[in-house]
Amino acid sequence: MQQVLQYIDGRRKQHEAELIELLQIPSVSADPAFAADVKRAAEWVQRRLQGMGLAAELITTGGHPILYAESPPMPGAPVALVYGHYDVQPPDPLDEWITPPFEPAVRDGKVFARGATDDKGQMLTHVESVAAWLAVAKKVPLQVKFVIEGEEEVGSEHLGEFLRANTERLACNCVVISDTSQFAPGVPAITYGLRGIAYFELRLTGPKQDLHSGVFGGGVANPANALTKMLGALVDERGRVMIPGFYDDVAALTDRERKEFASLPFDEAAFKQQLAVDQLAGEEGFTTLERRWARPTLDINGLTSGYQGAGAKTVLPARASAKFSCRLVPNQDPTKVAACLRKRLTELLSPGIKMELVEHHGAPGVVMPLESPFLQAAATAVEAGFGRRPVFIREGGSIPIVNTFADLLHADVLLLGWGQNDDNPHSPNEKFSLDDFHRGIRASAALWQELAQIKK
């Protein structure tokens, strides 16, 4: 293991050169004009994996190809599957880039290019770590499988199909994804939980057409009034969601989790300043990080009714609608939440108003127990790579592909983010710290060693 790390440390220049070569390929998956470049990036990764002696296959899909490779099986050891992507976001607006997005430039120890952190740089750490093991030890301590796709930035349209058709081939004990961030510079993190979502649209109808609010006001129910009354009743003053059954299945934060979160260097004052609010708000009894990462919410995403132009119009609107969504935490079930919501809204419906509730999409939250041996192994590996024990964090958003992996492969998912929060992944001047790149390769190399020791 020490030899592997030394080997990695000795090849910083080569690793950087390879990263820069890959970053020069404008593999913009969203734009058909770049289709050949997207293919070229896939082939680049394929050649790199083949070059180290792995069988690597480009699988044709209805869209951009999926690259699949695997190291030899290691009986008795678990199997790890690395998921990443070689496609990138469009680089627009081009004139805000200090150096061109596909001409990687190193400034202040960081490489600036589209895809630097999302996800070419992070993905490559796992490729280089496997290469190092193969170079030094002629084997990897456990079998590593690679699924590197080219459609992550356009919704992974063909990945689900590939996964469903290949569950046996892809069988594994854990999935490793490096496409997130550290908690802060110098504070490496393992993301062990994500919130789910249940997205709704409530459409209310009153009279058949907009009416004069003078002539008709008071005579007939106003759907906009009804909408505010219904939605206003769904969250109370203490920030609790007032839908009977909503909290029934919520997995409570453990004492250990609350302690982990409390120990994080989270600066509330800076966060308030970032958002330009004089006060934070949310569910009573929980810290800001707890509320954002591990407590369910109900947030209105959009409101539409009546006259929205300048000035005044005395209209009693015929319709009013709202888009709103609940962020869910383990073990809430989006289907059950939808049923509870529908029941509550039906109770809250005013006389003279018709209601339609559209269920847009739902996904459960995911969380790995902090006691999971995979998490523990990953923590040790991250420490080996970064020289500091990682913190355990969760994410308030959803990463749909994580649910897909967890559902189809029944594997734990390790979200090991080597990036920083200010790496500008979908913005101009995307960057990745070269130090974080090299530390990531080291951590990945250590990960194979640590995971290999887990009893299957």
The answer to the question of residue 424 lying near its own copies (CB under 8 A) is no
Listed in sequence order, the DSSP H helices in 100-237 are: 121-137, 159-165, 213-216, 223-232
Min dist CB 329 to its own copies, Å, is 10
Q: Pick the piece of the chain touching its own copies (CB under 8 A) from 46-54, 77-85, 313-321, 335-343.
A: 313-321
Which amino acid would we find at residue 359? E
Closest CB to its own copies among residues 62, 351: 351
Residue with token string 């809204």: 345
Which amino acid would we find at residue 122? Q
Q: Find out whether 351 and 225 touch, Cβ atoms under 8 Å.
A: no
Name residues contacting its own copies, limited to 160-219 (CB under 8 A).
Answer: 195, 197, 199, 201, 206-208, 211-219
Q: Find out whether 41 and 22 touch, Cβ atoms under 8 Å.
A: yes
Min dist CB 293 to its own copies, Å, is 8
Cβ–Cβ contacts within 10 Å for residue 184, how many?
16
The answer to the question of residue 393 lying near its own copies (CB under 8 A) is no
Instruction: By CB under 8 A, name the one of 13, 265, 275, 456 that touches its own copies.
Output: 275
The answer to the question of residue 277 lying near its own copies (CB under 8 A) is yes
DSSP bridge partners of 316: 211
Q: Find out whether 264 and 289 touch, Cβ atoms under 8 Å.
A: yes
For residue 90 the two structure tokens come to 């469009």
The answer to the question of residue 224 lying near its own copies (CB under 8 A) is yes
The answer to the question of residue 350 lying near its own copies (CB under 8 A) is yes
The answer to the question of residue 134 lying near its own copies (CB under 8 A) is no
Cβ–Cβ contacts within 10 Å for residue 454, how many?
16
Q: Pick the piece of the chain touching its own copies (CB under 8 A) from 90-98, 130-138, 178-186, 272-280.
A: 272-280
The answer to the question of residue 315 lying near its own copies (CB under 8 A) is yes
The answer to the question of residue 420 lying near its own copies (CB under 8 A) is no
Min dist CB 41 to its own copies, Å, is 27
Q: Pick the piece of the chain touching its own copies (CB under 8 A) from 75-83, 142-150, 176-184, 269-277.
A: 269-277
For residue 402 the two structure tokens come to 């994580």
The answer to the question of residue 233 lying near its own copies (CB under 8 A) is yes
Which amino acid would we find at residue 128? E
Instruction: By CB under 8 A, name the one of 291, 344, 431, 439 that touches its own copies.
Output: 291
Q: Is 14 helix (H, G, I), strand (E, B) or coil?
A: helix
The answer to the question of residue 338 lying near its own copies (CB under 8 A) is no
The answer to the question of residue 346 lying near its own copies (CB under 8 A) is no
The answer to the question of residue 253 lying near its own copies (CB under 8 A) is no
The answer to the question of residue 271 lying near its own copies (CB under 8 A) is yes
CA dist 171 → 10, 81, 149, 152, 414 (Å): 34, 8, 17, 21, 16
Q: Give the orientation angle of helix 35-51 with respect to helix 121-137, to 10 degrees.
A: 20
The answer to the question of residue 396 lying near its own copies (CB under 8 A) is yes
Closest CB to its own copies among residues 43, 249: 249
Residues with catalytic roles: 87, 152
Q: Alpha-carbon torsion 364, 63, 19, 110, what sign?
A: negative
Beta strands at 412-417 and 174-177: parallel, antiparallel or unpaired: parallel
Min dist CB 157 to its own copies, Å, is 16
Q: Pick the piece of the chain touching its own copies (CB under 8 A) from 40-48, 91-99, 253-261, 299-307.
A: 299-307
Which amino acid would we find at residue 418? W
Closest CB to its own copies among residues 39, 203: 203
Q: Find out whether 122 and 419 touch, Cβ atoms under 8 Å.
A: yes
Q: Pick the piece of the chain touching its own copies (CB under 8 A) from 118-126, 158-166, 182-190, 347-355.
A: 347-355
